[in-house]
Structure 1
Amino acid sequence: MKFACCSLMGLPFRPVEGEAGRRFRQTKTSVVHFRKTEHSGGMIRLEALRVFVIVASEGNIRAAARRIGRTPSAVSMTLKQLEAEIGAPLFATDRKNSLTELGRFVLETARAQIAGFDRMIAAIRARAEGRVGQLAVACVPSIAATLMPGLIDGFLAERPGVELELLDADSAAVAELVESGEVDLGIAARPAPGRVLRFRPLLADGFMVICPATSPLAAGTGPLAWEALAGERLIRNGASDRLEAPACRALSAAAPLMVRNVTSLLAMVAAGLGITLLPALAVARLPEGLVGRPLADREARREVGLIERSDAPRSPAAEAFIARLEVEAAALARRLARGDPPAAQGR
């Protein structure tokens, strides 16, 4: 008699090692397809194969029935149906303590197929629940330094199977990375309108005037009004270009230098090439030789939020990351509202 196993199919269930009864009950509709012969009904349920494997392992029906939480008569009926579907006996005796040659083959094959099926279901569930997968996030450097360490530490502790990539760039570049699909999520200032992007605000921070420690502007400690900056040479950056105050526009119009990278920008200020304006989070830790004073203009604020493509669904991993992001961002927003200095986080 010819006998061949072709494929496994079944409804999802959560495999639990050592809980055979639970596995048994959760796979009632799963089936194995066999090549049909003159003796075969053509379809075998995964439930029946699980019962067979357990009976063969236990050596008798009563022990198997206790293990899977069924009556002996129900287990016996399942075995009879399985043998009828296959078209040949699997046990050499009615006591079910000895297998036929075919029974030994089915036992070996079924164990391998059931283990593979369980691994497949576990992998599907893990990806569906966001416990494995890939996620790419782009954010501005100030967020990378202050918000991301603690957020990523907690996220990866909960989901060690997720492969996370973090890129830092200015707000314009972050929006481009999200729009092009190179990253899944962005955290930056509000992008320009008219793009295939959606923006959800998370927090806002005020601006700081950054100057050399030798500058007259460094003499005080309080906020600086726009008038105090008259006559200063501004070094523009991506964040300062978003400010709409007329006084800032005038300073920008006369600025001969634009620097996007924050590290390079601060080096230029330290070298005495001018002053600059940066969001408070961007200068949580200033290099030696530089001083930061708050800008008095309360309207001069940077709004930071989540950027996504409006036409792209979120992956489970992205959903989990966003949930943690919202909690961490809210905590940082409260610290900023209290006037607490932002700092890098982590363990």
Structure 2
Amino acid sequence: MLKLDLLRAFATVTRHGRLKDAGEELGRTQSALSMSLAQLEDQLGGKLFETDRKTELTDLGLYVRDLSDELLRENDRIQNLIMDYARGHSGRLRIASVPSIAALILPTLLRDFMKIHHAAEVELTDSDSASVRSMVDQGDADIGIAGAAKTGQSLRKEPLFEDRLHVVCQVGVPLAISSGHLCWQDLEGNQLIANETLAAIDVPATKSLLAQSSLSARNVSSLFAMVQNGLGYTVLPGLATRQLSEGLIAMPMNGPGCNREISLLTRNGRTLSPLALDFRSFLLRNIPRVISQYQLTLTHLHAGQP
């Protein structure tokens, strides 16, 4: 098997035509280069140069030069690809996120991240928290950004921030004209349109409300449409209510279970790719800056270091 360093020494000498210039490029002495060329000729069993001046190649030398150039270019290309991937400069990153984060927070972060990792390929999927957790747990997403389940999945949770829940209802209905913050008891007797956010809240009052509900939807647009058509009210995180349809209002809630915790989710026992590790570190460093404009609360467990 021919060694690449011997072929590189030969190719560099043929390009320069002089041992001195080739040695300067490679950082080697002329005697060391001469030894490499002699070793290569010995392995091939033939002369590569017509004379000791290294200016005229033999037929074998011409053949080896052409193929060596091709081989070295491909070798360098592959090594660069490997190093770029290992350093997190390239690769494929699959992110799953709840829709409100995907629409309002991630675009700014991804814009800045892609400026640094311009060779990266990023795939963003938005879905409800249960689907995001499932994608990470099954290996269909590298990183998830969603509410974390308490049990049942092998996920690592790194809390990012909390988002207050809001009641979304029609303008003019009794819930909309209530003063101050609403609590769970204020919702009794009204038609609830259930969703995944409520299903994840472990508070007795929410279980009672869900048990009485005969309507449910998972898509935020569908929830808004149902509320707008007078089918009832729903409860969503504040970020999901930033752009309400005409005729709807969002009322903040107060009390136990009225804050949704958003976490960065990764799969336990699985090492992230270099690109995913870089994004995790980037997200943890920059999330405080991005969410400040939405007046969200950083969790006390938030880890701001990679």
**TM-score of the superposed pair, with normalisation by structure 1:** 0.78
The structure 1 residue matched to 2:279, chosen from 318, 321, 331, is 321
Moved more, 243-252 or 305-314: 243-252
Counterparts of residues 74-153 of structure 1 (less than 5 Å): 74-153=32-111
Give, in whole Å, the separation in 2 of the partners of 1:220 and 1:318.
45
TM-aligned CA distance change 1:225 to 1:192, over 3 Å: closer
TM-aligned CA distance change 1:304 to 1:47, over 3 Å: same
Moved more, 112-121 or 227-236: 227-236
Counterparts of residues 25-40 of structure 1 (less than 5 Å): 33=1
Residue type of the partner of 1:83?
E
Residue type of the partner of 2:75?
F
The structure 2 residue matched to 1:273, chosen from 228, 231, 249, is 231
1:254 aligns with 2:254: no
Q: Is the 8 A contact 1:221 1:293 kept in 2?
A: no
Give, in whole Å, the separation in 1 of the partners of 2:268 and 2:296.
34
Give, in whole Å, the separation in 1 of the partners of 2:167 and 2:137.
32
Q: In the alignment, what sits opposite 2:131?
A: 173
Q: What RMSD, in angstroms, separates the aligned Cα atoms of the two structures?
A: 2.2
**TM-score of the superposed pair, with normalisation by structure 2:** 0.88
Aligned positions, number? 297
Cα offset, 1:76, TM superposition: 2.5
Q: Is the 8 A contact 2:161 2:296 kept in 1?
A: no
Give, in whole Å, the separation in 2 of the partners of 1:60 and 1:148.
56
Q: Is the 8 A contact 1:206 1:298 kept in 2?
A: no
- Residues 62-118 of structure 1, C-alpha deviations (whole Å, 9 max, x = no match): 232333333333323332232233222211112111111111111112111111111
Moved more, 294-303 or 276-285: 294-303
- Residues 248-289 of structure 1, C-alpha deviations (whole Å, 9 max, x = no match): 333323222112111100111111111111111121221221
Counterparts of residues 18-29 of structure 1 (less than 5 Å): none
Counterparts of residues 178-217 of structure 1 (less than 5 Å): 178-217=136-175
The structure 2 residue matched to 1:295, chosen from 232, 235, 253, is 253
Q: Is the 8 A contact 2:163 2:296 kept in 1?
A: no
The structure 2 residue matched to 1:330, chosen from 288, 292, 300, is 288
Q: In the alignment, what sits opposite 1:46?
A: 4
Moved more, 175-184 or 201-210: 175-184
TM-aligned CA distance change 1:219 to 1:129, over 3 Å: same
Report runs of 4+ in structure 1 exceeding 6 Å deviation.
Answer: none
Over alpha carbons, which structure has the higher Rg? 1
Give, in whole Å, the separation in 2 of the partners of 1:200 and 1:219.
38
Cα offset, 1:149, TM superposition: 0.8
Q: In the alignment, what sits opposite 2:23?
A: 65
Cα offset, 1:295, TM superposition: 0.6
Give, in whole Å, the separation in 2 of the partners of 1:69 and 1:193.
59
Gaps of at least 5 residues in structure 1 are 1-32, 34-43, 340-347
TM-aligned CA distance change 1:333 to 1:67, over 3 Å: closer
* Structure with higher RCO (Cα < 8 A, 6+ apart): 2
Give, in whole Å, the separation in 2 of the partners of 1:288 and 1:327.
37
Give, in whole Å, the separation in 2 of the partners of 1:70 and 1:195.
57
Give, in whole Å, the separation in 1 of the partners of 2:228 and 2:183.
22
